[in-house]
Structure 1
Amino acid sequence: MTTGLKLLALPALIALVSFSACKKNPIITEQPQVVTPETPGKPGKDTTTTTPVPPVTNVRYIPFGTGSGNLVIDGSTFSLQCNDVILIQGGSYKSITIKNINTGCPIKVQNKGLVEVTGNSDHWNLSNVSNLTISGTGDANIAKGFVSRDNDQHRSIILSGKINDLTIENFAFKNIGDYVVYFVYSDVVYSPSDPNTYTNNLKFLNIDCDNTSTFLQIDGGSENGVLTRLVKNLEIGYLNFKNSNCGNIIFVGNADDYNIHHNTVTDINSTNNNHNGIFTIKGSGSFHHNLIRNHQGNAIRAWSRSLGTTPKNILIYNNTVVNSRKYSAFEVQSFANEISAGKTTYANVKVYDNICGDLNLSKDWVGVILDIYSLAGGSCEVYNNIGFNFPAPSPASKFTNTQANTASTVTNNTYYNSAQEAGISNINSLAIQK
């Protein structure tokens, strides 16, 4: 059987303490157990198998923190082994710094009780880490074990240095006036043969944001063949973002193979009249199974290009986008200065199986399924979408608004005059598509 997360009893004189350069924290090791599985048999018969079973891998639990103050966890000053779990003691901290964790194998940071960071300072500083998961799942009774709140002037999480294979999950952010996550990324020029010139496998999962500014800001781009601040395999999933006037909730200037999925965005940009892209991202990837409701701005402004010489796809599918003050559900376009022979090329676009309705209720702009600008040679297919109530003005098509010379293939889409005509009794009851 599998053992749960249990700390072995320690003498009372060993307490959970914050790490310092001159004193190491105690390490608590869960003892391995050898389990002999059973196989079905008749009563009275021996039901054990003789096949040897390898022992359960050791898991070491390393406690940090006293529940207050400025906590620093510096992997260069103590020894880590594969699958170690760093436990942060519950409480209210001023800041948490995690740096220099690069074991080449998985390490996890978890909460032990509710861990909050509050006040006007940069709450979390993460630098030079890889193969690291920071997860607020340490207590089965707390869904979001790491909370950052009540910070009017500073950022919640700052990423810096070399970052790879980093997952941040089960966090909650509330009342944050600056960026929630900001990547202080040096302008290293991308080289395909050098993994030190890009970030790989950055994931944000199961996160709540209530009354915050932009969730994620990663500057970067492609300018005349010079690519900087590239992020490969970025994943943003199961984000619940609400009650904000921030404009964009993410901006990523240079991404390859992004996966943005199962996010819920509600009640944003009630007085923000910029041409917002709620998700604004440059590169190629997929945007799917998202719910955007009660908003202003395109659900995604997918600014398209492919890394390398082979065209990739931008896939926008199974999203639900309803009740917007302004603009079409989605936008795609390319920029000539970002396409460079041998470095980048165009991307092809497919938009399908989306439900979009009550768009551009301000009636001062075109609001349809997709705004299409130049794709620098890329193709565009729009099919199997459902739309309803695009009130004004009336474009030539209810499905595409073409602003440049890109030809599109538009097939098998359906438009209704109202949600009720489309069989939707209440748009606020719409959920993420399955």
Structure 2
Amino acid sequence: MHQVEKIMHKTIPLKMRTLSIIFIFSLSSILLLASCKKNSIENPDISVVLPGSGPDTTKAPAPIVYDRTVNIGTGSGVLNFDGATFGVKCNDLIKIKGGNYTSINIKNVISADGCPITFKNDGLVELAGNYNAMSLENLKNVYISGDGTPGLAKGFSFRDNSYRAVVITGTLNKFTFQYAAFKNIGDLDITFKYNDVYDGTEGSYSKDLKFLNMSCDNTAQFLTTGGYIQGGVVYGLVKNIEVANIDFQNAPDVGTVVFMGNVENYNIHNNKINNINTSNNNHNGIFQIAGNGRFHDNLVTNHQGNAIRAWGHTVGSTPKDILIYNNIVLNSRKYSGFEVQAYADRITPGKTTYTNAIIFNNTCGNLNLSNDWQAAVVDVYGMSGGKVDVYNNLGFNFMPNQKLIALQWAEVIPNASYNIYNETSGQAGITDQTSLNLTSNSAAKYKGRPTPFVITDFYGKPRSATAPSIGAVE
């Protein structure tokens, strides 16, 4: 028999904890409330909070027709490329000769919109050994892409370095870095610690960044972008950043894989995280992201930490959304699938405001197996004015077995419906714990709340707009 809904509400004063629990026994949201403080709690209606459809940034751009090919590099030593002294032209293809370099430095490549400059490998380009790194500075409309040699999946290789592999400084706009491999990196794979003051003007933020199609094996943190809000001042704002198709594995003490301190409209999707934090016991966010955007279609397995700790704020006065959907999270040693919260010191009237969070159509199983905390699909903390909607999520085997979908830690009561929890994956009608497909008679099959703005599942299979299945997989 399946448990359709259970939410735990917690408020945490400094020296004591007050607990109230909501059980939702049916999909019609009939609630029975037990609280040690009051007889009833009003569940806020946030049914009007819907994600905007907007353009799909995951679609591949039109192929670039190159007007000129330039060959650079000797295959070894130091490679310097300075756009201030080399006259780049619209639609240039710059090919880096394969070999093992001690450093590659590319700077001051600024091109007009519609005139991208592309750097590609010509053979395998490696930076191997301690302190051998790529340095990037002041780039606009630049692609760095390791798909320059047929048959070579990732033409840029960074390995066996106790320090940092790729260091980005200065300004960065309309930039794509893709098809690279990182192995045995001791500090940071890619660092862009951008902390300029945002004043509302075009030149005071970084925008349109893409980090795509990379692999990381036994490395430290994959990406950090810096950014923060302090004393009403916004620092290091990045708008429109995409992190996708990253295969990150075998990192016993990495903690956080991606850190973004101040982001508007992140799009984090189709990443695979496996076998990390086996020796790390911090409260980790594998993706530790502050701002607003989408986290979807990710697979996180055999790990410790929340798949995402989404800390919400919106730069400006119009609240935006955090959307967490179509993710599969399995086999965590500690903590819940996701976390959402906001901090009051990041909200300044007239400059920043809150976000709303929507967590839907995720499948989470075998969470908090160390049994030293409470596990749920999502931990909900204070939202500084925002609301939280939790629906169409499928969970099984959370430790301790309290059948939790949304765990409330502060004043915000999540609006939860159409969620299912079972003690085992078999009881949930899941065929196996590899594919997470649903059996034809699963209680989750075609029983979800309508989600017309998400038309496919984790595998890209079509979803019904009126009767989608519950969970990440149709």
Shift of 1:58: 5.6
Amino acid at match of 2:245: Y
SS at match of 1:248: coil
- The residue correspondences of 1:395-434 to structure 2 (distance < 5 A) are 398-430=404-436, 432-434=458-460
Aligned to 2:57: none
- The residue correspondences of 1:16-415 to structure 2 (distance < 5 A) are 59-104=67-112, 105-152=115-162, 154-185=163-194, 187-192=195-200, 194-244=201-251, 245-392=253-400, 394=402, 398-415=404-421
Matches of 1:345 and 1:58, distance apart in 2: 44
Contact 1:122 1:157 in 2 (8 A): no
Contact 2:210 2:242 in 1 (8 A): yes
Figure out how many residues of one structure are paired with residues of the other and give that number. 374
Percent identical across equivalent pairs? Answer: 48
Amino acid at match of 1:423: G
Contact 2:193 2:227 in 1 (8 A): no
Shift of 1:224: 2.8
Shift of 1:407: 1.6
Aligned to 1:46: none
Matches of 2:385 and 2:282, distance apart in 1: 28
Matches of 1:179 and 1:228, distance apart in 2: 21
Amino acid at match of 2:228: G
| Cα deviations by residue, 1:118-144 (Å, 9 ceiling, x for unpaired) | 111151100011100000010121010
Matches of 2:284 and 2:340, distance apart in 1: 13
Shift of 1:433: 3.7
| Cα deviations by residue, 1:48-84 (Å, 9 ceiling, x for unpaired) | xxxxxxxx96621100011110111111111111110
Matches of 1:429 and 1:351, distance apart in 2: 21
Contact 1:162 1:196 in 2 (8 A): no
Shift of 1:183: 1.3
| Cα deviations by residue, 1:179-208 (Å, 9 ceiling, x for unpaired) | 1011142x421011x222111011100010
Matches of 1:91 and 1:183, distance apart in 2: 26
Amino acid at match of 2:248: F
Matches of 2:140 and 2:342, distance apart in 1: 32
Contact 2:193 2:224 in 1 (8 A): no
Contact 1:364 1:393 in 2 (8 A): no
Amino acid at match of 1:216: L
Matches of 1:373 and 1:231, distance apart in 2: 24
Matches of 1:219 and 1:84, distance apart in 2: 31
Unmatched segments (≥5 aa) in structure 2: 1-63, 438-457, 461-474
Contact 1:201 1:233 in 2 (8 A): yes
Contact 1:346 1:375 in 2 (8 A): yes
Amino acid at match of 1:171: A
Query: Which structure exhibits the higher relative contact order, with contacts defined as CA atoms closer than 8 Å and separated by 6 or more residues?
Result: 2
Contact 1:179 1:213 in 2 (8 A): yes
SS at match of 1:358: strand
| Cα deviations by residue, 1:222-268 (Å, 9 ceiling, x for unpaired) | 12320001111011000100000200001111000100000000000
Amino acid at match of 1:95: S
Amino acid at match of 2:412: T
Matches of 2:99 and 2:65, distance apart in 1: 30
Contact 1:298 1:330 in 2 (8 A): yes
How high is the TM-score relative to the length of structure 2? 0.77
SS at match of 2:76: coil
Amino acid at match of 2:215: D
Give the superposed CA RMSD: 1.4
Matches of 1:132 and 1:311, distance apart in 2: 31
Contact 1:61 1:87 in 2 (8 A): yes
Amino acid at match of 1:170: Y
Matches of 1:424 and 1:69, distance apart in 2: 54
SS at match of 2:345: helix
Matches of 1:155 and 1:234, distance apart in 2: 21
Unmatched segments (≥5 aa) in structure 1: 1-55
| Cα deviations by residue, 1:124-172 (Å, 9 ceiling, x for unpaired) | 10001110000001012101011101102x1010010111111000000
Shift of 1:350: 0.4
Contact 1:318 1:433 in 2 (8 A): no
| Cα deviations by residue, 1:261-287 (Å, 9 ceiling, x for unpaired) | 000000000110000000001000000
Matches of 2:132 and 2:342, distance apart in 1: 35
Matches of 2:336 and 2:321, distance apart in 1: 21
Shift of 1:429: 4.4
Contact 2:401 2:423 in 1 (8 A): no
